[in-house]
Structure 1
């Protein structure tokens, strides 16, 4: 059903979520159901998902949802303009993760899926600025690496260079 589950990334993401928003809580997960959705539910969260809508085209779908927080795990980099969506969120809390821009690797572009591409791969300061401009105050952050089991310069750099950035923010 699902491709190989990125267990390290999911573990870090779920641990971060549990630290900043302990269960039980009702969350809107921007994105379709996936293995992380199931892990969040097993951990005591009630999860509502978007249904794969183009959030650049209809960002207003986040406006009228009553939840404790909105989570956006590995989704904002796919949007042409995440600013508009971030401004429209009415929830008081936002928990998000993004892949960081790496100086030694190009932005991700799937060879088989036209949607699975990154318009943005942010540096941490750029993402912080985006959140600030869209009226969010950062409360907590976390970074982690994403090593791969290959030989070479890039795999070696991945062992030391943070790839993922998690942010917990509250409405200003």
Structure 2
């Protein structure tokens, strides 16, 4: 089912979590430009629309649409300076979002090639939970998983046991 050089474990875990919490068919607004994972969601029966690459720190119009029922954000919020603004402005009632967890043994990701491809935040799970709750979301399900790498050394060994990704399913809190 998963071909090529795609990050098999991350895609598999994300798709399993999505299936369990938001079964298809469903219409999704996926934050970020169209990416390889969208094809996997569409194969599962989801109808997916992506944002168009706008700076979501400055322009949240895409998530203010009242007709959106589900928003997904897979490894997006760590790239934003102010993810609270987007989370607060989302009008959908359901959210599935994943973020890379902060690793005590590794500094935050920063691409050496692309100056825009960097992590402003790498969260601890409690920080992401708090951010969601403060923005008006109630977490209904969560999961974590590791991201082993095929290298030798202390950090690759630690990656075998230390969760790297955190995913949540949340619903709009009735108090907001």
- With normalisation by structure 2, the TM-score equals 0.94
Partner Cα distance (2:61, 2:132) in 1: 18
Match of 2:92 in 1: 91
Match of 1:165 in 2: 166
Point out where structure 2 has 5 or more consecutive residues left out of the alignment. none
Distance change (3 Å), C-alpha of 1:65 and 1:112: farther
1:107-122 alignment, distance < 5 Å: 107-122=108-123
**Number of residue pairs aligned between Structure 1 and Structure 2:** 170
**C-alpha RMSD of matched pairs (Å):** 1.0
Partner Cα distance (2:60, 2:79) in 1: 13
Distance change (3 Å), C-alpha of 1:160 and 1:84: same
Match of 1:147 in 2: 148
- What is the SS of the residue equivalent to 2:161? coil
Q: Offset of 1:61 from its aligned partner? A: 2.0
1:3-152 alignment, distance < 5 Å: 4-152=5-153
Point out where structure 1 has 5 or more consecutive residues left out of the alignment. none
- What is the SS of the residue equivalent to 1:85? helix
Structure 1 residue runs of 4 or more that deviate by more than 2 Å after TM superposition: none
- With normalisation by structure 1, the TM-score equals 0.96
